[in-house]
Amino acid sequence: MSGRRRAGGGRRARAEPPAPRRDVNYRTLRNPFPPMNLFTQDRVEAMHAAALEVLERLGIKVLLPEARALFKAGGARIAPDGEMVHIGREMVEAALASAPRSIPCLAGARHRDLVLEPGALVFQPGAGAPHATDLKRGRRPGSGQDFREFVQLTQAFDVLHMIPPVVEPQDIPTHLRHYFTLEAQLTLSDKLPFIFSRGTPQVMDSFEMLRDFRGLSDDAFHGSSHCYTIINTNSPRTLDIPMAQGIIDFARAGQVSIITPFTLMGAMAPITVAGAITLSHAEALAAITLAQLARPGAPVCYGTFTSNVDMKSGSPAFGTPEHFKASLAAGQLARHIGLPWRSAAGSAANLNDAQAANETQFGLWGCLMAGATVVIHAAGWLEGGLTVSFEKMICDLEVLQMVAELCAATEAGEAEIGLDALAEVDPGGHFFATTQTMARYQSEFYQPLVADTANFGTWQEAGARDASQRATAIWEDILAQGPAVAVDQARADQLRTFIAKRTAEGGAPPES
């Protein structure tokens, strides 16, 4: 979970001095996996060129007049029907030139700060689910309590680096929901918070809350990135009002937009990987262009979420070979334009079983080998995003922690090769008590979170619990420990006062 871990020991009595304990850093990861290419470079360039042609010739429908005005001022042609925007390639190229390659993000504590840039590796749990589920309370509409509990769980694991809106707190009125979700993030976590793009009034409320909670001046807030939003285009080729407004508001405030077209192959996108990713790329480029028109240099993260539908049922499928390939293709386009980028794992399973584990991990490896900067839905996501499971979050966290272990350097010096240790043990002997083992037994190996390696008999005697049942005990234990961050009470009081005032004034309904 966090930095210093309980480790090893107990297997047998040992002489003094004790071996050093395990110390891990899962907070700042670099992707150690060699990037995998799906297509040759000329095909990547052809897809990029096709996306530019889509934007120029076919255009993208932009529903927000302010956004159309920005595009027009930047040189775009607005079609006679008034909503279709045709964006020239030179505008896109200018935007790609002004978008930063590296985005420093300031969280609630310096050791939680992030830099979003190619080569970095940042994990988020599943996000945006209308439902929550666990073995104790069953599947239900996401609530405020669920939202707070998922913030606590996200805070508890160093390998989760940003807070997303894991579930939609449906019992909180929509005009007050942004107060609730940001208060939960700020008071239960010191990680980078998420703000919904549901219209300027909510966004401005949220910026003000965050600025004051961090004790910043307006200039200091705007001078650095302190939060992020997710921008989903409406594929194919539509940018709706709250999303366009979010791009503009976040760009002007110097806050991070993560651009994520959601393009299901064979449904809202072409059936081919190349076609779906070309569409996704075109839409992402349009959104990036808008951000750069609103404020050159605005921090934007390129992104995609492309998977396929199951052609038998018509349902979305995740963790498929096509999903994996789409991540690889998007990674090539991200490298082509040089921006940090977001990809996604995911599962269509309906419970935390072998399918769920296999799909999420398969999708994760697609993201890792595609060189994704931010991997969202990396833990807990079920039913193609309709539910987040407490137990699945714990089980997926095991995989993320194991991946994080692979990000650390492994030594093969003389001490590790250890000819002395090899000479110490005769044929037929064992290495339990070599000098090398004694010095390292508490620190050499990753210690599992939920995996149980007991033999069958011991496991049966202990109740024959599967991974889901063991995961229940783990999240219950974490939640029972209560919030894990120190909060400045004066700032928290000020935050609540602000929320009370704004609530009395009627809050801020979402825009659509």
Task: Provide the CA 461 distance to its chain's centre, in angstroms.
Answer: 39
352 forms part of the interface with its own copies (CB under 8 A): yes
**By CB under 8 A, is residue 464 in contact with its own copies?**
yes
Does residue 130 bind its own copies (CB under 8 A)? no
**For its own copies, which residue of 324, 341, 390, 475 counts as binding (CB under 8 A)?**
324
Q: Which stretch binds its own copies (CB under 8 A): 97-105, 115-123, 177-185, 459-467?
A: 459-467
Name which position in 29, 52, 56, 60 contacts its own copies (CB under 8 A): 60
The least CB distance from residue 69 to its own copies, in Å, is 19
Half-sphere exposure of 158 (CA within 13 A, CB side): 20
Nearer to its own copies (CB atom), residue 44 or residue 107: 44
Residue number, 39 or 194, with CB nearest to its own copies: 39
d(CA 86, CA 75) in angstroms, rounded, equals: 9
Residue from 25, 82, 119, 431 touching its own copies (CB under 8 A): that is 431
Between CA 453 and CA 447 the distance in angstroms is: 11
Contact pattern for its own copies over residues 76 through 115, marking x by CB under 8 A: --------x-------------------------------
Q: Which of 93, 117, 212, 405 binds its own copies (CB under 8 A)?
A: 405
Chain positions 1 to 40 lying near its own copies, rule: CB under 8 A, are 7-11, 32-36, 38-39
Q: Are 381 and 388 in contact (CB under 8 A)?
A: yes
Structural tokens at position 271: 């059936």
Q: Of residues 5, 66, 216, 446, which one binds its own copies by CB under 8 A?
A: 446
Contact by Cβ (8 Å): 278, 271: no
Q: Is 463 in the site for its own copies (CB under 8 A)?
A: no
> According to CB under 8 A, which one of 98, 272, 494, 503 is a site residue for its own copies?
272
Q: Is the CB of 186 or the CB of 449 nearer to its own copies?
A: 449
| Binds its own copies by CB under 8 A, chosen from 5, 27, 139, 295 | 139
346: DSSP letter:
-
Residue with smaller CB distance to its own copies, 105 or 274: 274
Q: Please report the DSSP string for 224-276 in residue order.
A: SB--EEEE--BTTTEE-HHHHHHHHHHHHTTPEEEE--B--BTTTB-SSHHHH
Cβ nearer to its own copies, comparing 329 with 495: 329
Candidate residues 448, 481, 496, 500; the one interacting with its own copies per rule CB under 8 A: 448
Smallest gap from Cβ 7 to its own copies, in A, equals: 7
CA dihedral 469, 473, 479, 480 (to 10 degrees): 150
> Out of 107, 188, 356, 372, which residue is the one contacting its own copies (CB under 8 A)?
356
Q: Which two tokens stand for residue 124?
A: 């988020």
Residue 398 touching its own copies (CB under 8 A): yes
Q: Which 3 state secondary structure label does DSSP give 301?
A: strand
Q: What are phi and psi of 41, to 5 degrees?
A: -60, -35
Nearer to its own copies, 130 or 201 (CB): 130
Residues 6 or more apart in contact with residue 402 via CB below 8 angstroms: 446
Measured CA to CA, the distance from residue 276 to residue 369 in angstroms comes to 19
* Distance of closest approach, residue 245 Cβ to its own copies, in angstroms: 18
Number of residues that bind its own copies (CB under 8 A): 130
Residues of span 175-214 touching its own copies by CB under 8 A: none
* CB of 368 vs its own copies, minimal distance in Å: 9
Centre a 10 Å sphere on the Cβ of residue 208 and count the other Cβ atoms it contains.
Answer: 14
H/E stretch holding 41 reads helix 41-53
Distance CA 87, CA 285 (A): 10
Q: Give the Cα separation of 171 and 131 in Å (integer).
A: 12
Q: From the CB of 121, what's the least distance to its own copies, in Å?
A: 14
